[in-house]
Amino acid sequence: MKKILYIIVILISILPTYAQTLRSSYFLERMPYRHLNNPALINDYGYVSIPAIGNISVTTNSNIGLSNFLYPHNGELVTGLHPDIDSNKFLSGLKNTNALSTTEYITILSAGFFAFNGYNTIGLSIKSESEISLPKDIFSFLKTGQNSDVTSYNFSNARAKSNNYAELAFGHARRYLDNKLSVGAKAKLLFGLGNIDARIDRMDINMSGDKWIINSRGTANLSLSGATLGKDENGDIDKINYELSDFKISGYGASFDLGATYKISEDLKVSLAVLDLGFICWNSNKFAQTKSESYVFDGFHTIASEDDENGNNAFNDEKDQVVDDLKALIKFDEIDGNNSRTTALKATLNAGAEYSILNNKISFGLLSTTQFGSQKVWTELMAVTNFRPVKWFECAINGSVSNYGCSWGALINFCPRRFNLFIGADYIATSYTPQYIPINRAKLGLNVGINIPLGMDPLYKKTNSK
Amino acid sequence: MQCLLNGFFFLILLKLMYEKTLINFYIMINKFKSLSKVVLLSLLATSCINNDYDLNKNISLLIGVDGSLSIPLGETVERELESLLKAQDIEGLLTDDDMYGIHKDEYVSASIPNFNADIISSISASSDFSISFKEIVNVPPLSKNLEAITLSADLVNITANVTIPQTNIPKEIKSLKYIEFSNPVKLNITSNLNITSLAGDLYYTTLNIDFPIFFQFYDESNITIVTDVSGIKYKRVTLTNQKFSVNGNQRTWSYNELSVKGLDFSDSDYNDIIQNSKLNITNAMVNVSGKAIVNLGTAQVSDFQSVSGSYSFGVKNMYINVIKGELITNIIDKKDYPHTSIKLNGLSDYVTNGSQLDLPDINLLLQVGNPIGVPLDVDLKMSPYKNGKIIDNIIISPSSKLTINANSESNINSNSKTISKFILASSDYLKNGYPKDYIPIAVPELNKLVEYVPDSIVIDAIPTAKAVTGNNWHLINLSKKNLDMNINCNANVPFVLGDNISVIYQDTIKNIKSDTDNLFDKISFKQLQLNVTTYNSVPLDLKLKVIGMSTGCESEISTNDLSFTFNDGNEYGTISAGDYNSETNSTNITETNLIINIAENTIGTLKHLDGIKLLITGDIESNKGTKGGIPLRPSQAVKAKVSIKATGVQADLDTF
């Protein structure tokens, strides 16, 4: 049982969410991968990544944390379901929809260079987005049980999904209007590696001493080449089999990033970008859904039935049937005829503004990020203070507020001539377990990369030569 | 609080940068080492390790539910009384008009004694007389054909005693009023006159024979009643022109056209004709009078001055068929008194020892077929018996004797019987009506017969002949032997249960242990309650008890270890009686909610709980019967719906 708890803890704490690169790098001109946040952003230098370690981003975002589930109590840790933990204390820390999301982004190879009258990027990356959302009523049910004659819980919209794909991106940005306006676009070819989306569209439980009424409807999609659905003797899905040797691309798609920046004055710059406008068409999808939509259990109707002459007992038969019916509520059956499906990417809208002082040695930026397509739309406003004391070093600190909570982060970017190292975190927890698991809020965004700088931006070169 | 650097891997990377790959970066790092330290420390200093959340510590997986959990366990199969009482197992418990009752038919016969009488061998009378003929001046018309000289003589009051031998008659006859013979017997009358052979024809031109009044002739159309000077009545037979036959010097006349049907002693002249069960008639007389004429023929007139003669009559071999009269009271021997026992075996299986049944509507229907023409007064004595012993010396008798009608005279010579019908019930019951043609007999406290759940009801009947009133004489037929008085006793008891009814309903929820998979080993409760909702259409308050059964459901768990108590602290809860609707004559279901607290008095007992027995009984002290005395019906039913409510549920998930 504890293993399960640990898995939950790890899920809560480690599963990351949005990030392709640090959003706090949005305003740092020498951060190689900031074009991932806005294809119109043009760096001072080109770059080429060191394979596989050019940009590694791991981000977790959640509106709950470990402290919502574990409580120090009398020298040990107890769960929020412990009888000594007040239900108000436990449940008030939870949201109506408790969401956990993660994004892992690894750049296999990437490069940025100035040519074709602009800044060009090319990159091959792997992206994994996963999220899980659980309604509060699940925990209320476990903690409170019934608090009145008739108690209702709604477990609807419980969902687990994961989207994994590789992207080959080609970007180009160039300046207009006397270099005040930059526009950029990026076209990405997407290669689906695997997608799973299981959701309980509806599950509500109405409990009373007379009867329990359970309404349930669930669907699941699995798009993963090499995966087959294992079934029991009743034809119900009981496991997912996977043969690595059968792996192949499970789907194809495309997406676009669009962006623009505008320098209102020498000190003030605004920007806007829309990312991941695209889709993936999965071609080896398996679709399953639950059998039953409604189930009423008002007790056994054959209590104390006598055995018949064959030793069969109606009560035992009915009991087995009830167990089967309950299992059927959450058992998925494969439905033929849904072999392909199309999923949209989680589109992201970034809007930023930067005001610099001290000859751009220090600037202050505001970045609004809104991501669509998740169970819970995520929106965040980040304030960043950027420091550029010398040409080979930049750093930034940020504070953010979002509908997943508040956090802060920092970034340092070493960018001497033939070397670039950046490391930072959009979200830094203030408290960790001795095992370095954030305690209060499962928000963590780490980004690290090593790259080799290339040719300088002609405009930057020109400006600095003056 | 111990604060640590949360970017441990930062340091590793920095170390690599310092030492190996990024040598030329070293200088720059040194230049800005202070700055980088400030940045890093500022990043990490605010983060800290909270040892309270050390996941290597024991994490208690004890969970508890603040509220409660109510789980419907379900409902029992609806048990109708038809299946609960198993009427077929209770002798006499049958249904009639969809109503339970003890319907018991018992037939018993009382032997009527054989009424024996001897044959009356003869009844006879004879007398000698002497008459004197004188010449007739005015020859009557009959004599016109005779020769010219005709003599006549008057027979005046020639009397003879009637001889009736003492004949045995039934000893039960106290007063004899009538004897009817099996067949009419011929009465032979003979008269002889000694007269000279020279005389001509001899006639009784008129002959009056006055028989005793008790003679019952087959044809009495020509018979007249006459009374002698002393007032004694006779039946007179008048014969005319009876010619004598010649036999030497004797003339003989005989007559046998009269048949005697019987003897009728209803006339008050013959009241005491029985002595020691024998006919004892000594004062019966026959009188003969009339006139005889004779033709002188060649004889002299003087030859007829004194003519001697005689007459006689007799009847022989009279078989007595029917007797009317008055019988003695005790016509039936004590050993032949009707005695029957209504078995109620099996009923006691459904009521506890010492229980009581309240059956106010108990009634007995009696049909008695009487083969004899004697009305009988029957004194009934009914007693409840158990194990062969009378219960509390209870003897129930009707407030009055039952009078069984005499068999009618038209039936007396056939095998038909006159049926008398009685209904024995309480006065209250009879007020509400009773079957047509039945004679109501109020029996106080009749319900006591079954109040204490007897295994039989013994009925003793003491029949006695009812005294004659008026001329309604007792009538017996001696030719019928081996007569029985048939009594059909139909006990009709609407089954109304009273207090202390034992098992009516018993169901056990079995195999809890296997079903819960030793759940009680892993889960504890602050409070465990059973919420039992009963649906009762039986018009009787019932008692519910819940009993925990141990492994295998073979034995009960002691209440010292595991108790099931109701909210009032009692081990029993009351299920309200079904509500009787007098308009529809049906019983509506009454719903009763009962909460039963389960207390584990000995820790660990719950895990041995393998069954829950629901015991519904009727033995409630305050319960004096079904509500309103409503009879039970097979369709009346009881069932229970059970849910379990657990509060303060705690479980250690580590044990799962």
Query: What is the value of ipTM here, to two decimals?
Result: 0.78
3-state secondary structure labels for all residues of B416-476? CCEEEEEEEECHHHHHCCCCCCCEEEECCCCCHHHHCCCCEEEEEEEEEECCCCCCCCEEE
B60 touches chain A (CB under 8 A): yes
Give the pair of three-digit tokens for residue B140: 């009557």
Sheet strand arrangement including A70-73: A70-73, A76-79, B59-60
What does the mean pLDDT of chain B come to?
78
Q: Are B62 and A82 in contact (CB < 8 Å)?
A: yes
Of residues B88, B75, B79, the one with CA closest to residue B636: B79
Predicted local confidence at residue A9, as pLDDT? 44
Across the strands, what pairs with A286? A222
Q: Compute the nearest-CA separation of B7 from chain A (Å).
A: 9
Are A165 and A212 in contact by the 8 Å Cβ rule? The answer is no
Are B284 and B151 in contact by the 8 Å Cβ rule? The answer is no
Give the burial class of B473: count Cβ atoms within 10 A of its Cβ; 0-12 exposed, 13-18 middle, 19 or more buried.
buried
Identify the segments of chain B with pLDDT beneath 70: 1-47, 77, 81-104, 137-148, 268, 345-359, 492-505, 514-520, 580, 582-585, 618-634
Q: Compute the nearest-CA separation of A64 from chain B (Å).
A: 16
Q: Are A433 and B65 in contact (CB < 8 Å)?
A: no
Give the β-pairing of A70-73 and A76-79: antiparallel
Q: Are B49 and A207 in contact (CB < 8 Å)?
A: no
Give the pair of three-digit tokens for residue A399: 């504070």
Radius of gyration of chain A (CA): 26
Predicted local confidence at residue B583, as pLDDT? 66
Which residue did the predictor score with more confidence, A320 or A197? A197
- Alpha carbon distance B403, B441 (integer Å): 10
**CB B272: neighbour CB atoms within 10 A?**
10
Checking if the pLDDT of A112 tops 90, the result is: yes
Q: Compute the nearest-CA separation of B642 from chain A (Å).
A: 8
Of residues A140, A3, A11, the one with CA closest to residue A80: A140
Q: Compute the nearest-CA separation of B38 from chain A (Å).
A: 11
Rounded to two decimals, what is the model's pTM? 0.58
Mean pLDDT computed over A281-285: 89
Q: Compute the nearest-CA separation of B27 from chain A (Å).
A: 11
Three-state SS at B332: coil
What does the mean pLDDT of chain A come to?
85
E strands present in B61-214: 62-76, 79-80, 93-96, 99-112, 120-131, 134-135, 150-161, 173-194, 202-212
A433 touches chain B (CB under 8 A): yes
Radius of gyration of chain B (CA): 54
- The count of C-alpha atoms lying within 13 angstroms of the C-alpha of A332, restricted to the half-sphere facing its C-beta, is 22
pLDDT in tens, A164-177: 999 999 999 999 99
Q: Are A432 and B66 in contact (CB < 8 Å)?
A: no
Q: Compute the nearest-CA separation of B617 from chain A (Å).
A: 17
Helices (H), B508-574: 512-516, 519-522
- Alpha carbon distance A420, A358 (integer Å): 24
Are A269 and B42 in contact by the 8 Å Cβ rule? The answer is no
Interface test with A, best of B2, B70, B649, B656 (most A CBs within 10 A): B70
Predicted local confidence at residue B78, as pLDDT? 72
Among A83, A419, A434, the residue with its CB nearest the CB of B54 is A434
Find, in chain A, the residue whose alpha carbon is nearest to that of B62.
Answer: A82
Interface test with B, best of A139, A146, A407 (most B CBs within 10 A): A146
Whole-Å CA distances, B20 to A47, A142, B15, B16: 22, 55, 8, 6
Interface test with B, best of A77, A212, A418, A448 (most B CBs within 10 A): A77
B51 touches chain A (CB under 8 A): yes
- Alpha carbon distance B427, B398 (integer Å): 11
Of residues A360, A407, A406, the one with CA closest to residue A386: A360
Q: Are A433 and B49 in contact (CB < 8 Å)?
A: yes
Find, in chain A, the residue whose alpha carbon is nearest to that of B22.
Answer: A419
B76 touches chain A (CB under 8 A): yes
Are B606 and B522 in contact by the 8 Å Cβ rule? The answer is no
Q: Are A73 and B60 in contact (CB < 8 Å)?
A: yes
B594 touches chain A (CB under 8 A): no
pLDDT in tens, B518-571: 666 777 777 788 888 888 887 777 888 888 888 888 889 988 888 899 988 888
Report the first-to-last Cα separation within chain A, whole angstroms: 68
Predicted local confidence at residue B357, as pLDDT? 67
Of residues A116, A127, A110, the one with CA closest to residue A32: A110
- Alpha carbon distance B474, B372 (integer Å): 8
Q: Compute the nearest-CA separation of A264 from chain B (Å).
A: 31
pLDDT in tens, A286-325: 888 887 667 888 777 766 556 666 666 666 677 777 777 7
Q: Compute the nearest-CA separation of B647 from chain A (Å).
A: 9
- Region of B387 (left: φ > 0; alpha: ψ -120 to 50; beta: rest) is left
Confidence of residue A46 (pLDDT cuts 50, 70, 90): very high
- Alpha carbon distance B510, A297 (integer Å): 19
Query: Residues 397..416 of A with a Cβ closer than 8 Å to B: which?
Result: 397, 410, 412, 414, 416
Among A72, A389, A435, the residue with its CB nearest the CB of B52 is A72
Q: Are B649 and A299 in contact (CB < 8 Å)?
A: no
Structural element, H or E, at residue A237: strand A237-242
Q: Compute the nearest-CA separation of B12 from chain A (Å).
A: 12
Mean pLDDT computed over A368-397: 89
Are B366 and B490 in contact by the 8 Å Cβ rule? The answer is yes
Among A70, A151, A393, the residue with its CB nearest the CB of B53 is A70
CB pairs below 8 Å between A and B: how many? 201
Give the pair of three-digit tokens for residue B218: 């087959």
A82 touches chain B (CB under 8 A): yes
Q: Compute the nearest-CA separation of B416 from chain A (Å).
A: 54
Are A261 and A269 in contact by the 8 Å Cβ rule? The answer is yes
Structural element, H or E, at residue B226: strand B223-227
Structural element, H or E, at residue B410: none
Angle, alpha carbons B556-B561-B562 (nearest 5°): 70
Predicted local confidence at residue B189, as pLDDT? 93
Q: Compute the nearest-CA separation of A228 from chain B (Å).
A: 31
Three-state SS at B88: helix
Checking if the pLDDT of A451 tops 90, the result is: yes
Instruction: Name the DSSP letter for residue B396.
Output: B
Among B7, B43, B67, the residue with its CB nearest the CB of A146 is B67
Are A348 and A276 in contact by the 8 Å Cβ rule? The answer is yes
Query: Residues 438..457 of A with a Cβ closer than 8 Å to B: which?
Result: 439, 448
Find, in chain A, the residue whose alpha carbon is nearest to that of B507.
Answer: A304
Give the β-pairing of A362-371 and A348-357: antiparallel
Among A210, A319, A433, the residue with its CB nearest the CB of B643 is A210
Query: Residues 456..515 of B with a Cβ closer than 8 Å to A: which?
Result: 507-511, 515
Q: Are A142 and B63 in contact (CB < 8 Å)?
A: yes
B34 touches chain A (CB under 8 A): no
The residue type at B207: L
Which residue did the predictor score with more confidence, A308 or A7? A308
Q: Are A1 and B649 in contact (CB < 8 Å)?
A: no
Find, in chain B, the residue whose alpha carbon is nearest to that of A319.
Answer: B515
Predicted local confidence at residue B35, as pLDDT? 44
Structural element, H or E, at residue A337: none
B15: phi then psi, degrees, rounded to nearest 5: -65, -40
Are A428 and A409 in contact by the 8 Å Cβ rule? The answer is yes
Instruction: For residue B54, give every residue at least 6 positions away whose Cβ sits within 8 Å of its Cβ, in sequence order, or none.
Output: A77, A433, A434, A435
Give the β-pairing of A76-79 and B59-60: parallel
Q: Are A145 and B67 in contact (CB < 8 Å)?
A: yes
Instruction: For residue A190, give every residue at least 6 positions away whose Cβ sits within 8 Å of its Cβ, in sequence order, or none.
Output: A165, A166, A167, A251, A252, A253, A254, A255, A278, A280, A345
Instruction: Name the DSSP letter for residue B6.
Output: S
